[in-house]
Amino acid sequence: MELHAAIEQLHDRCAIYTSAPTAARLLDLIGWTSNADLSQATLLEPCAGEGSILMEGVRRLLHSFRSNGRTPSLGDLEPRIRSFELHPGAAAIVRKLLRNLLIEEGIPPEHADQLVLKWVGERDFLLEKPERATHVAANPPYVRWKNLPAVLASLYRETLPAVGTRGDLSVAFLNKMLEWISDGGSIAALTSDRWMFAQYGDGFLQDTKSRGWTITVADERPSDPFMKTVGAYSAIVLLTPAGKPIHHLSSNRRQEAQAMLRELLARHGSLHEAGCIVRVGPALGAGRTFILDPDEIAEVEDELVRPFLDRKDLIGSAVDTARLRVVVPYDRRGVLIDPSDWPGFKTWVSKRREALSRRSQFRDKDQYWRTIDAVPALWSTGPKLLMPELSNKPFVTIDRTQAIPAHSLYAIWSGEWPTDVLQRVLNGGLLEVTAKAEAPALKHGWMRFYKRFLLRTPLPQWSQLSHDVREGLSSDDFQEFEETFKGLFGFAPGATSLA
């Protein structure tokens, strides 16, 4: 694909513009305000789009000169703004809007023409040589690297430091913005906060902190951040030099939960340290092709047909019979089969060849019949606990069917903890503490769990608990359970006091 087609495609995927109130908030957070003295400052907007942030920034700049009793010259204004837009259509629109604004604000047209050309570079910000900016406000493109047009992805990978080229493009933008910012400056970005929680953001977070930056989520769920309603969610993230006071901090509730999590972890250790194993359900690929409906008779050998559970099945405290079954090309030992040894599977799968071969991982490959992830023997051991990746109140259900769960579910093997007692303490509030402290908040109170948070859920080692505590946690008498739980964790089950 040619570069200009790639730019078109990228723009199509990421042009979700900032709403006016959110643009104003980003600028407030970094102190780019009309009553500040901006006469020596420089605002960087790295990807201007059609100018939501940039126009408000320019308006504030002009008012700031005026409120300080000055009429700015061309030379005063020129170094104050730097912005980029890769897409020629959007760059033309923003320049036109900006020119009109400048003229409305009393700037002579010939100066307005010069300023818009100087201020808006129709160029690729990621490939720019960094200059200096005192303030940065942005809504950087949120596009996963795997969805980035290949020409651009390889261009960036050749040019940019590795720490910024994982996960999604907004990390590369943040990294580049850090190269621009001068000592004492701040960056506010409207961005998916996913990179802060996902493994791929780790390198960037560590690197940024080690360079003396503090990263704060100033608002984890701004309402109506975009001009149009989109399914995506986002947060306002602030990067400031360590020690610089911040105008606005993350919500108190989040901080309370984080303090509680730290304290519980220090006292008890984590679910990981307690010996529990966490896995996400294997990705199969090709929608529901590998799933059998309850009444579907499969000619496939029994060993390759396993119980299967999805989100809908997690309604009570335990599942004793699985509604669905799944066909897997792995034997009970977790070894990948050779279909020629399994004639039933071979016939079944060959009828689905078309759907399975369409998957990008298996296109033109002999092993079109494979699931994306392996299905190791662990899945045939149980019981285990299952938990949805997305929920508005985290809970675990016991699975006694040794099912393979859907890719949107997590499984927890309880190690030395009795599975039902572990379920009780996790549902009693330990998962909720982790969720409130760590999980990215989505719309309408929903939360997204990652394996890393589950592993960091506070949990003592079963073998370290006294006989009485073990008895109390396992007791059928709810009052006895409640008292023991409270004594151990400091809050009553079901009442984390964080709601």
Ligand X SMILES: C[S@@+](CC[C@H](N)C(=O)[O-])C[C@H]1O[C@@H](n2cnc3c(N)ncnc32)[C@H](O)[C@@H]1O
* Choice between 45 and 389, CB closer to ligand X: 45
**CA-CA distances (angstroms) from residue 387 to 34, 127, 320, 499?**
49, 43, 16, 20
- Shortest distance, CB of residue 132 to ligand X, whole angstroms? 18
* Choice between 17 and 348, CB closer to ligand X: 17
Structure tokens at 192: 């998916």
* Choice between 81 and 271, CB closer to ligand X: 81
Q: Given the DSSP bridges, would you call strands 305-309 and 390-391 parallel, antiparallel or unpaired?
A: unpaired
- Shortest distance, CB of residue 26 to ligand X, whole angstroms? 8
Residues 93-132 that bind ligand X (CB under 6 A): 124-126
Residue 15 found at the interface with ligand X (CB under 6 A):
yes
Binding test (CB under 6 A) with ligand X, winner from 41, 53, 81, 235: 53
Residue 48 found at the interface with ligand X (CB under 6 A):
yes
Under DSSP, the state recorded for 281 is: P
Q: Which of 394, 379, 381, 383 is nearest to 454 (CA)?
A: 394
Q: For residue 480, which amino acid is it?
A: E
- Shortest distance, CB of residue 154 to ligand X, whole angstroms? 14
Residue 139 found at the interface with ligand X (CB under 6 A):
yes
Element (H, E) at 120: strand 120-121
Binding test (CB under 6 A) with ligand X, winner from 43, 61, 81, 86: 86
Binding test (CB under 6 A) with ligand X, winner from 6, 18, 149, 235: 18
* Choice between 88 and 445, CB closer to ligand X: 88
- Shortest distance, CB of residue 499 to ligand X, whole angstroms? 34
Binding test (CB under 6 A) with ligand X, winner from 49, 222, 307, 405: 49
Length reported for the chain: 499
Taking the C-alpha atoms of residue 57 and residue 60, their distance in angstroms, rounded to an integer, is 5
Q: How far separated are the first and last CA of the chain, in Å rounded?
A: 51
Phi, psi of 475 (to 5 degrees): -65, 145
* Choice between 124 and 273, CB closer to ligand X: 124
Residue 391 found at the interface with ligand X (CB under 6 A):
no
Residue 284 found at the interface with ligand X (CB under 6 A):
no
Using CB positions, name the residue nearest to ligand X.
Answer: 49
Taking the C-alpha atoms of residue 169 and residue 166, their distance in angstroms, rounded to an integer, is 8
The residues that bridge with 410 in the sheet, in sequence order, are 280, 387
Q: Which stretch binds ligand X (CB under 6 A): 6-14, 256-264, 394-402, 415-423?
A: 6-14
Q: Is 44 helix (H, G, I), strand (E, B) or coil?
A: strand
Torsion over CA: 117, 119, 125, 129 (sign): positive
Residue 233 found at the interface with ligand X (CB under 6 A):
no
Q: Given the DSSP bridges, would you call strands 43-45 and 81-84 parallel, antiparallel or unpaired?
A: parallel
Concatenated DSSP letters for 439-496?
SPB-GGG-EE--HHHHHTSB---GGGS-HHHHHHHH-SSHHHHHHHHHHHHSS-TT--
Residue 151 found at the interface with ligand X (CB under 6 A):
no
* Choice between 19 and 380, CB closer to ligand X: 19
Instruction: Give buried/exposed letters for 76-102 (b at 16+ CB in 10 A, else e).
Output: ebeebbbbbbbbeebbebbbebbbebb
Q: Which stretch binds ligand X (CB under 6 A): 41-49, 214-222, 249-257, 285-293?
A: 41-49
How many C-beta atoms lie closer than 10 Å to residue 451's C-beta? Answer: 15
Residue 472 found at the interface with ligand X (CB under 6 A):
no
How many residues line the site for ligand X (CB under 6 A)? 22
* Choice between 14 and 280, CB closer to ligand X: 14
Q: Which stretch binds ligand X (CB under 6 A): 9-17, 289-297, 309-317, 407-415?
A: 9-17
Binding test (CB under 6 A) with ligand X, winner from 6, 11, 219, 359: 11
Residue 87 found at the interface with ligand X (CB under 6 A):
yes
* Choice between 16 and 277, CB closer to ligand X: 16
How many C-beta atoms lie closer than 10 Å to residue 19's C-beta? Answer: 18
Q: For residue 248, which amino acid is it?
A: H
**CA-CA distances (angstroms) from residue 176 to 118, 128, 244, 455?**
20, 9, 21, 32
- Shortest distance, CB of residue 83 to ligand X, whole angstroms? 8
Residues near ligand X, by CB under 6 A = 10-11, 14-18, 47-49, 52-53, 84-87, 90, 124-126, 139, 141
